[in-house]
């Protein structure tokens, strides 16, 4: 069994040694936690967990919100060589129970209402509850040295069936994913990032940067207070943003130009042209990056706003699809029947339940390929143009192709296409919309009826993708 030269905890501890008093995490309340403080707190938790019987290979369910305590817990679990497990928040209590049944964790680290929920369900009640550290001192450094192929993290994705699929990441895999994302982000010690994608805080801790946790409920990104987020950006001298499209939209909405922003990284959902334009207005000096990937393969492709030509903007407005950029060098992309398949070292090798691999994994040319479910095409420059979920397409009607075009129309704020048979229904929300004009514009893209709604339903997780199931019910 091989072992990574350095795992993420060791990379973090190097930063602790190099810059102990630098800010590691800044809370929504403005509390600044240094690298030294975070290292000490995570070591204390590791000692408590070790005394509770947690060791290498044990699975620990972590059920707490994005906070300093979350990262203390995660680092403590990694220090012990144990496996951190996170349920899919959008899957709700049912998803949590199914995830526990699938992964069989030994213990749970939670707080507040999590303790109440644990007592309500037998799957959770049987788990050992890990306590909080007290005032006792840590008498030794706790750091397990594991093989690089040892499991480190289990997360779940709801998938198209709604049943949680477990994804296991090894220590090596986490470091590789961190490295590839850093090839795009190029984090420097001293960077201050507003981050609402929690995994990137872990990456920042390995890179020596400070992470500002956005104020508000991150599970409801569309409800965040944009003015409050912008205040955090100013108060903490944030120079970069790492957030899904819905959070970037809240920050950019009505914002005065924020000249101190050097970079914005967004992904985890489609990054449509209207959002890119809004970010550019809000952060005129920033390099704006859209990263395409999936839970099983991150990153797949990358696009920088400055590389989009006028011809590209015109093509997106004409129904050519959503430009996602060139694949990263470390991944192989194959388009089969207009669907994206990917292979590479940072592509998930299989799910926790091998039965889930049947519909998404295949061997070809000696490589293991993952089926993403995304429809796309590749242009003569090797760039990916996303067309939407393959199962949501019908004939020549592809959701993203129509939605991307519609979002370029005057006053349109949201757009979602339901394609059934040879016709499609385009649901639109916005301000000052002219039904007759919309009908003419849609007619140029295909056999499409237009319905104006007050609000187009969006996915619960990132609020960045249309919820086609709910939309279908609303329009029935």
Q: For residue 5, what pLDDT is reported?
A: 61
261, 283 Cβ separation under 8 angstroms: yes
Q: Tell whether the model's pLDDT for residue 363 goes beyond 60.
A: yes
Task: Kindly report, residue by residue over 201-222, the tens digit of the pLDDT.
Answer: 999 999 999 999 999 988 888 8
208, 8 Cβ separation under 8 angstroms: no
**What band does 4 get if pLDDT is binned at 50, 70 and 90?**
very low
Q: What is the mean pLDDT of residues 123-145?
A: 83
Q: Where are the alpha helices (DSSP H) in 27-170?
A: 35-51, 68-79, 92-103, 113-120, 122-125
d(CA 402, CA 426) in angstroms, rounded, equals 8
164, 95 Cβ separation under 8 angstroms: yes
d(CA 391, CA 375) in angstroms, rounded, equals 9
Residue 94 CB-density burial (10 A; 0-12 exposed, 13-18 middle, 19+ buried) = exposed
**φ, ψ for residue 448, nearest 5 deg:** -135, 130
Q: For residue 465, what pLDDT is reported?
A: 83
From residue 212, alpha-carbon distances to 32, 194, 288 in Å are: 9, 5, 19
For tokens 């203390």, the residue is 72
d(CA 148, CA 171) in angstroms, rounded, equals 5
Q: For residue 2, what pLDDT is reported?
A: 44
**What band does 159 get if pLDDT is binned at 50, 70 and 90?**
low
Of residues 30 and 356, more confidence is placed in 30
Task: Kindly report, residue by residue over 270-321, the tens digit of the pLDDT.
Answer: 999 999 999 999 999 999 999 999 989 999 999 999 999 999 999 999 999 9
Q: What is the mean pLDDT of residues 162-169?
A: 83
Q: For residue 476, what pLDDT is reported?
A: 80
Cβ neighbours for 29, distance < 8 A, ≥ 6 positions apart: none
Of residues 264 and 113, more confidence is placed in 264
Q: For residue 453, what pLDDT is reported?
A: 94
**What band does 3 get if pLDDT is binned at 50, 70 and 90?**
very low
Q: What is the mean pLDDT of residues 365-379?
A: 95
Q: What percent of the chain has pLDDT over 70?
A: 97
Q: For residue 365, what pLDDT is reported?
A: 87
Domain extent listing, the chain: 8-16+33-170, 393-476
Which residues does residue 322 pair with via DSSP β-bridges, in sequence order?
A: 386
Provide the CA 200 distance to its chain's centre, in angstroms: 9
Q: For residue 158, what pLDDT is reported?
A: 62
* CATH number for the domain whose boundaries are 393-476: 3.30.300.30
pLDDT mean across residues, the chain: 91
d(CA 142, CA 76) in angstroms, rounded, equals 9
455, 415 Cβ separation under 8 angstroms: no
d(CA 271, CA 302) in angstroms, rounded, equals 11
Which residues does residue 397 pair with via DSSP β-bridges, in sequence order?
A: 394
Q: CATH class for domain 8-16+33-170?
A: alpha beta
Q: For residue 286, what pLDDT is reported?
A: 97
Q: Tell whether the model's pLDDT for residue 162 goes beyond 80.
A: no
**Hey, CA dihedral for 16, 137, 135, 58, is it positive or negative?**
positive
Q: For residue 152, what pLDDT is reported?
A: 94
């Amino acid at each position: 069994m091989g072992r990574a030269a350095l795992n993420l905890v060791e990379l973090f501890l190097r930063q602790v040694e190099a810059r102990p008093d630098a800010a590691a995490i800044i809370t929504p309340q403005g509390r600044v936690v240094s690298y030294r403080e975070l290292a000490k707190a995570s070591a204390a938790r590791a000692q408590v967990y070790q005394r509770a019987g947690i060791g290498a290979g044990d699975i620990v369910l972590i059920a707490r919100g994005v906070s300093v305590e979350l990262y203390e817990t995660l680092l403590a679990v990694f220090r012990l060589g144990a496996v951190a497990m996170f349920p899919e928040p959008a899957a709700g209590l049912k998803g949590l129970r199914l995830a526990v049944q699938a992964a069989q964790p030994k213990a749970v680290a939670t707080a507040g209402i999590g303790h109440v929920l644990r007592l309500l369900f037998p799957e959770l009640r049987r788990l050992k509850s890990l306590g909080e550290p007290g005032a006792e001192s840590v008498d030794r450094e706790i750091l397990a040295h594991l093989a690089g192929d040892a499991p480190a993290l289990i997360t779940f994705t709801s998938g198209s069936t709604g049943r949680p699929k477990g994804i296991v990441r090894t220590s090596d895999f986490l470091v590789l994913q961190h490295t590839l994302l850093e090839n795009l982000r190029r984090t420097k010690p001293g960077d201050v990032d507003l981050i609402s994608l929690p995994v990137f805080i872990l990456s920042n801790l390995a890179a020596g940067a400070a992470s500002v946790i956005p104020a508000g409920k991150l599970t409801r990104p569309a409800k965040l207070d944009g003015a409050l987020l912008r205040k955090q950006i100013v108060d903490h001298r944030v120079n970069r943003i790492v957030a899904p499209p819905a959070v970037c939209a809240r920050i950019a909405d009505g914002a005065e130009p924020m000249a101190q922003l050097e970079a914005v990284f967004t992904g985890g959902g489609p990054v449509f042209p209207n959002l890119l334009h809004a970010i550019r207005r809000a952060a005129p000096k920033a390099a704006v990056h859209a990263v395409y990937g999936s839970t099983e393969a991150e990153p797949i492709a990358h696009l920088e706003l400055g590389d989009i030509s006028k011809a590209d903007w015109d093509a997106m407005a004409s129904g050519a699809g959503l430009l996602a950029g060139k694949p990263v060098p470390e991944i192989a992309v194959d388009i089969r029947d207009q669907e994206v398949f990917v292979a590479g070292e940072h592509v998930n090798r299989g799910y926790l339940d091998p039965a889930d691999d049947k519909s998404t994994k295949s061997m070809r040319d000696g490589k293991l390929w993952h089926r993403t479910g995304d429809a796309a095409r590749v242009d003569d420059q090797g760039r990916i143009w996303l067309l939407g979920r393959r199962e949501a397409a019908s004939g020549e009607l592809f959701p993203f192709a129509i939605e991307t075009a519609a979002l370029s129309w005057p006053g349109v704020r949201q757009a979602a296409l339901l394609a059934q048979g040879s016709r499609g229904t385009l649901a639109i929300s916005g301000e000052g919309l002219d039904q007759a004009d919309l009908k003419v514009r849609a007619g140029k893209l295909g056999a499409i009826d237009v319905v104006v709604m007050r609000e187009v339903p969006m996915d619960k997780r990132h609020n960045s993708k249309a919820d086609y199931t709910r939309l279908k019910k609303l329009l029935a």
